[in-house]
Amino acid sequence: MPISNLQIRMLRKLLQSGTEEKIAHAIEKIHPSDISLLFSELSPGELQRLINSLCLIAKAGATLRELPEFLLPDILEQIEDKKMAGILSRLDPSEALFFFEHLPEARSRHLLDFLPEWQKEKLIKLLLYPKNSAGSMMTSNYLIVRAEMTVEEALASLRSQPEVKGVFYIYVVDEAKQLNGVLSLRNLVLAAPHTKIREIMDPEVQAVLAVDDQEKAAQMVAQYNLLAVPVVNESHELLGAITVDDVIDIVKEEATEDIYNLAGLSEADRAATPIGVKVKKRLPWMVLNLFTAAMAASVVGFFQHSIEKFVALAVFMPIVAGMGGNGGTQSLTVITRAIALGELNFVKAYKAVLKEAANGLILGATCGVLIGLVGFLWKGNYILGAVLFLAMMLNLLMGGLVGALVPLSFRALKLDPAIGTSVLVTMCTDIFGFLSFLGLATLLLEYLV
């Protein structure tokens, strides 16, 4: 059962004063993911007691693994080396890798020496894969059999293999550890005892390379409804498997990345990130925006004379520019999401652009009538109304066009359509908004004043 708020409060009290044995007993039956909720805002003493209790019931690794990544560095720092090594040595190397990715390099090197030789060796190999590669995400949660085994022999062999957390598939390998096929435990259980594995396995097993991006593995699992995808090296040797539970994390991560990129945020910038880091990460984006805003403002500079003569222009110009930005952002969002979800495999890109443009034109005409009426009623000048109508319509058309074209061009140039496109789109709508509104107004200035 999921943990209740009352339970959390009681456990927090126990952490303040209880013995480690008592705490261990209290949390023994709770899922690591729920225990992890206790980790926020602990005093150093409470943290030590909690870690020690978790070690008593051999749940420290699994629980720390459930913490949000931004909390890890701080917490790991407070666990002394010997204890940390004890926790790591109980983990599968692929799980241990996760912690090494959140430790300072010097400490990582130091901790490696505490580990058993076989684990150290495997970990060093895993550490060589680039971050976010399939190799860095793979686990040992799979079972292997040989093609020439009978079903009976395979079942016996499985019983002798080390306990793995979940059995997703059974992979068939040859003497060279090359991946030859796949079968499910159900295939095995339902087959007659003397059937050869070769007869019941699926030889067309899809795999990813260890150096491939983790996203490729995630896409494969999601698209073909798999529970795991095997990871191989160039000579098709089985190295590990990426399992569906990790794929869910990857999908969430990619979604956060897309949302973040549209706002110019970097992935590591979370609610709890220290202010100094936030400032450093966001400053380039803000300066870039300042620069594009200044460029748009310089357009206004060209029309100072018109504004001086008819100051109502200054009141209306941010409305025209801002509305174009809103429309452009909507089109940008629809198209970047369509790219991310593969929808453009089913729709021709030029049709999508035309739809966004037409939508912009229609919305622009509608909003143009509204704002034009406001302008007319306020100043009693129908030319002002007409200028507002035209500029609004044109700028929302522009928003639809660039909102669709910019991400599609980025994709064509093999750039991420979510990175930097929002600032480009708003720059276009700002500049064009000021230009169309103030330009039209200047042309018709004699009728306005």
Residues of span 380-439 touching a second copy by CB under 8 A: 396, 426, 430, 434
Q: Between 72 and 112, whose beta carbon lies closer to a second copy?
A: 72
Q: Between 14 and 367, whose beta carbon lies closer to a second copy?
A: 367
Contact residue for a second copy among 12, 337, 379, 411 (CB under 8 A): 337
Contact residue for a second copy among 10, 268, 294, 443 (CB under 8 A): 294
The answer to whether 252 contacts a second copy (rule: CB under 8 A) is: yes
From the list 272, 265, 244, 343, the residue with the least C-alpha distance to 70 is 272
Contact residue for a second copy among 370, 377, 412, 415 (CB under 8 A): 370
The answer to whether 41 contacts a second copy (rule: CB under 8 A) is: yes
Residues 64-123 that bind a second copy (CB under 8 A): 67-68, 70-71
b or e along 379-401 (b: 16 or more beta carbons within 10 Å of the residue's beta carbon)?
bebebbbbbbbbbbbbbbbbbbb
The answer to whether 9 contacts a second copy (rule: CB under 8 A) is: no
Contact residue for a second copy among 363, 388, 397, 424 (CB under 8 A): 363
The answer to whether 333 contacts a second copy (rule: CB under 8 A) is: yes
Contact residue for a second copy among 19, 78, 132, 273 (CB under 8 A): 273
Least Å distance, CB 300 to a second copy, is 5
Give the x/- contact pattern for a second copy in 163-192, rule: CB under 8 A.
---xx----------------xxx-xxx--
Q: Backbone phi, then psi, for 201, in 5-degree steps?
A: -80, 160
402, 327 contact by CB (below 8 A): no
The structure tokens listed for 292 are 């594009």
Q: How is 233-297 classified by DSSP, letter by letter? A: -TT-BEEEEEEHHHHHHHHHHHHHHHHHHHTT--TT--TTS-HHHHHHHHHHHHHHHHHHHHHHH
Least Å distance, CB 430 to a second copy, is 7
CA distances from 278 to 104, 256, 265, 274, 286 (A): 20, 17, 9, 6, 12
97, 126 contact by CB (below 8 A): yes
The answer to whether 373 contacts a second copy (rule: CB under 8 A) is: no
Contact residue for a second copy among 25, 90, 110, 355 (CB under 8 A): 355
Contacts 24+ apart (CB under 8 A), 4-9: 8/37, 8/38
The answer to whether 162 contacts a second copy (rule: CB under 8 A) is: no
Tell me how far apart the alpha carbons of residues 49 and 133 are, in angstroms, rounded to a whole number: 36
The answer to whether 26 contacts a second copy (rule: CB under 8 A) is: no
The answer to whether 289 contacts a second copy (rule: CB under 8 A) is: yes
Residues 191-220 that bind a second copy (CB under 8 A): 204, 206, 220
Contact residue for a second copy among 323, 391, 435, 440 (CB under 8 A): 323
From the list 69, 70, 5, the residue with the least C-alpha distance to 38 is 5
Tell me how far apart the alpha carbons of residues 91 and 58 are, in angstroms, rounded to a whole number: 10
Tell me how far apart the alpha carbons of residues 321 and 306 are, in angstroms, rounded to a whole number: 17
Contact residue for a second copy among 275, 380, 414, 449 (CB under 8 A): 275
